Structure 1
Amino acid sequence: MGVLQEFKEFAVRGNVVDMAVGVVIGGAFGKIVTSLVTDVIMPPIGWITGGIDFSDMKWVIKPADNSNPAHKIPEVALAYGSFINNIIAFVIVAFAIFMLVKIINKFYTKAAAATPPEVALLTEIRDLLKNKQ
């Protein structure tokens, strides 16, 4: 089997296509969650905390030096406010995925619990035959 044929079989396989769709949807979902955190959740938190914008919060280790226009030195800072926003976004994404998996599992358990009558009848016959021996 040639390499191109193997690659074609690999690329067309259902799992690869499903994974690609999941990655694309996950990227779009990430943008939605980022907007949710930045534009919806953080403004009320900033209002409650007295107008603090978490995304601008940072600890400046070394301030910028713009005294020499030919050799500007940028500031060195830890942007912990952005880190807080990313933690909140992660918690929201993790919770959303948890709820999605929980809903999917509920559908699988309902499908597994509802055994067809033919299967129930065959199981009963099998058990009766097993008890006779």
Structure 2
Amino acid sequence: MIQEFKEFIAKGNVMDMAVGIIIGAAFTAIVTSLVDDLINPIIGLVTGGVDFTNKYIILSGEVADGTSLAAARESGAAVFAYGSFLMAVLNFLIIAWVVFLLVKAVNRAKSAAEKEEAAAEEASAGPSQEELLAQIRDLLAAKG
């Protein structure tokens, strides 16, 4: 069993997966910062600073008007926290849009690099074997 585990760990795809998870964690931090620190403040500016996270409906229990969602939950009241859900959906859509734009940019850069590589290969390839043989034939025909 230990030998099987060693073989499993030694496979390349396990290492690739580990690298992917590490890169994913770093990428998550970047996207989260982008959304929280750059995009959400702009949305707050556009919406007049409305914060949906503290929007809720009291289903049962007593809660004073203007109480925060956290305080309402601590008081033991049953609350329907639709604002938190709306913010989670909004954040998801923003993150999905940012990831889409990043993937699109990476794909565009990759496509441009592939085109440059193909053009470089074409330019450096020189004449084909058939073209060289035709040139030799023409030179021999011109001499004779």
* TM-score of the pair, normalised by structure 2: 0.63
Is 1:97 aligned to 2:97, yes or no?
no
Structure 2: stretches of 5+ with no match in the other structure: 64-74, 134-144
What CA RMSD, in Å, does the superposition of the two structures yield over aligned residues?
3.3
What is the deviation of 1:96?
A: 0.8
Give the letter aligned to residue 8 of structure 2: F
Structure 1: stretches of 5+ with no match in the other structure: none
Structure whose residues are more often helix by fraction: 2
**Distance of 2:112 and 2:118 partners within structure 1:** 10
List structure 1 segments (4+ residues) > 4 angstroms apart after TM superposition.
none
**Distance of 2:132 and 2:55 partners within structure 1:** 73
The one-character-per-residue Cα deviations of 1:6-62 (angstroms, maximum 9, x if unpaired) are 42541xx2x5434432321122111221121122111122122211124x16553x5
**Distance of 1:21 and 1:53 partners within structure 2:** 37
Q: 1:22 aligns with which of 14, 20, 33?
A: 20
* TM-score of the pair, normalised by structure 1: 0.67
| Larger of the two Rg values belongs to structure | 2
Percent of aligned pairs with the same amino acid: 33
**Distance of 1:8 and 1:19 partners within structure 2:** 11
Give the letter aligned to residue 102 of structure 1: R
What is the deviation of 1:91?
A: 0.5
